[in-house]
Amino acid sequence: MAYTVGHYLGDRLAQIGLKDHFAVAGDYNLVLLDQLLEIDGLRQVYCCNELNCGFSAEGYARANGAGAAVVTFSVGALSALNAIGGAYAENLPVILISGAPNSNDHGSGHILHHTIGTPDYSYQLEIAKRLTCAAVSVTSAEEAPALIDHAIRTALREKKPAYIEIACNVAAQPCMRPGPASAVLAEVPSDPASVAQAVEALTRFIESRKKPVLLIGSRVRAAGAEDAAIRLADALGCAVATMAAAKGFFPEDHPGYVGTFWGDVSSPGVRQIFDWSDGIIALAPVFNDYSTVGWTAWPRGENVVVADGRHVSVEGVAYDDIHLRDVLDGLTKAWGTRPKKDTTITEFHRIHRPAAPVAAADPSAPLVRAEMARQISGVLTPRTTLIAETGDSWFNAIQMKLPHGARVELEMQWGHIGWSVPATFGYAVAEPERRIVLMVGDGSFQLTAQEVAQMVRLKLPVLIFLVNNRGYTIEVQIHDGPYNNVKNWDYAGLMEVFNAEDGRGLGLKATTGGELAQAIEKGLANREGPTLIECTIDRDDCTSDLISWGRRVANANARPPEER
């Protein structure tokens, strides 16, 4: 059997650790899909539409380190590109692979189906260039290896998505075989001089401060610096907080961990410690309007050091070409056995009294948000990943105390409602051994609901908490109007539709605490498919954090144009 361009691509995907790729079929990619099916150890997983396909690959990348989605030209790829924008925003190497017109048609003046009706097919590549770190068009077998490798290598190095389009008549053309995986996996090492000087500068900075704190940002995972941050926290002994979007990126049972720093909606006591601190070391943060609570809590100035994945600046000097983890490990080593900088954790324990556990509600009383959140946090184990959708689900998830090893996935930078359903599907495909729990609002669910059918198809025992509060409550808090009401659905009833003749998904309704507890029990026992529990709560029953945060974000949105 001839070795083909499609085989080359498939083997490279397998070499970088993919066991699955997500796909929606179309005539521009059918031959390519045939080639990919022939790769040992690389499963083809299907999605209902290309937006979901992109988000599934994004969720897969969260669990697995990288993901891939294969779609058809234009009608497919343009939908998937929204999810690719999300992967860019969220720092995830997702490879979008699109079938493309026959190489003979490029530049021929022919008008093809599925295109915008002009003979120039370059528009998709041009759009993809803006949303990826590398975008290539493969129109001959000879150039395929170099182009495919460039896209994959760049995505892995930069932790950003890449785009590969392959002309439909080239996918099955004979091709060279790939060499060792290191050609696409090898990282560019840190510049040792830059690391050494950054470590020196940071050591001086910390020595000169009495009350340092560590702030863990959402890019710390992409930087591969989560473990190095723990080692540094051990060495310094100071207080450590996570930013909202970095929930779960630092162990919450660590002795230095104080909670979420998020301005006015920080965990109790955390804002005070940050206000008191004279040295904030922010590791791979993203300071945007959401994370700064409408620009009301933006750590900056001379008491703040901001370190990014490949760059650190300390007191006006930029240290480039570093890996954050190398700098953190260098700093940990340099700190050695010097006295701990633990004033901030000591003070935190003085001002903060742990709250009493929330008492269970009367099991027959109508379900309220607090009871729902209490019961959901009860299903978290060290092997759980909680995926929380845009909406009050964010705030509920962020307030939960995570057992060691539990993870949370949020999409706070892109914030596409509906992301979580396909992302959960992708995550569950990658991590069948973990307990996967999704918390999603009714409004968000309506965008991408059909992907639950793929969980049914693959018998994934995902636990879905569908919060039916009859609308876009997060938007109600930011700016209300009739556009925030949604048509009610029989969400639990949908499971029958998705099951059809052979599925084992379970759809349950909870209108009281007692019903919710029973539904959770049934859901945990169902290993043959997803369980969707529709939790009915009042339209304005939300966290107080959502209300405070929403008001501040609305204020930031409402700033009048400045006079020039």
What residues make contact with Mg ion under the rule CB under 5 A? 441-443, 469, 473
Per the structure block, which two tokens stand in for 176?
A: 């060279």
For Mg ion, the closer of residues 252 and 442 by Cβ is: 442
Indicate whether 513 belongs to the interface with ligand TPU (CB under 6 A): no
For ligand TPU, the closer of residues 415 and 426 by Cβ is: 415
Give the integer Cα–Cα distance in Å for 6 and 41: 15
Q: What share of the chain is helix, strand, coil (3-state, %, to 5)?
A: 40, 20, 45
Indicate whether 442 belongs to the interface with ligand TPU (CB under 6 A): yes
Cα 86–chain centre separation: 8
Contact 47, 23 (CB under 8 A): yes
One-character DSSP codes across 267-308 = STTHHHHHHH-SEEEEES----TTTTTTTTS---STTEEEEE
> Taking CB under 6 A as the rule, which mask of x and - marks residues 383-412 in contact with ligand TPU?
------xxxxx-------------------
| β partners of residue 213 | 239, 280
Indicate whether 441 belongs to the interface with ligand TPU (CB under 6 A): yes
Indicate whether 58 belongs to the interface with ligand TPU (CB under 6 A): no
444 binds, among ligand TPU, Mg ion, none (CB under 5 to 8 A by kind): ligand TPU
Q: Which of 308, 475, 515, 545 binds ligand TPU (CB under 6 A)?
A: 475
For ligand TPU, the closer of residues 23 and 388 by Cβ is: 388
3-class SS at 554?
A: helix
Provide the minimum distance between the beta carbon of 218 and ligand TPU in the complex, in angstroms, as a whole number.
Answer: 17
The sheet carrying 162-167 orders its strands as: 43-46, 20-23, 67-71, 94-100, 162-167, 134-138
Indicate whether 343 belongs to the interface with ligand TPU (CB under 6 A): no
For Mg ion, the closer of residues 74 and 473 by Cβ is: 473
526 binds, among ligand TPU, Mg ion, none (CB under 5 to 8 A by kind): none
Return the DSSP state at 119.
S
Amino acid at 479: H
Q: Which of 60, 61, 53 is nearest to 83 (CA)?
A: 53
Stretch that binds ligand TPU, among 302-310, 343-351, 425-433, 465-473 (CB under 6 A): 465-473
Phi, psi of 138 (to 5 degrees): -100, 115
Provide the minimum distance between the beta carbon of 395 and ligand TPU in the complex, in angstroms, as a whole number.
Answer: 9
Provide the minimum distance between the beta carbon of 468 and Mg ion in the complex, in angstroms, as a whole number.
Answer: 7
226 binds, among Mg ion, ligand TPU, none (CB under 5 to 8 A by kind): none
One-character DSSP codes across 251-274 = -TTSTTEEEE-BTBTSSTTHHHHH
Provide the minimum distance between the beta carbon of 473 and ligand TPU in the complex, in angstroms, as a whole number.
Answer: 3
Q: Which of 244, 467, 506, 535 binds ligand TPU (CB under 6 A)?
A: 467
Residues lying near ligand TPU in the complex (CB under 6 A) are found at 389-393, 415-417, 441-444, 467, 469, 471-475
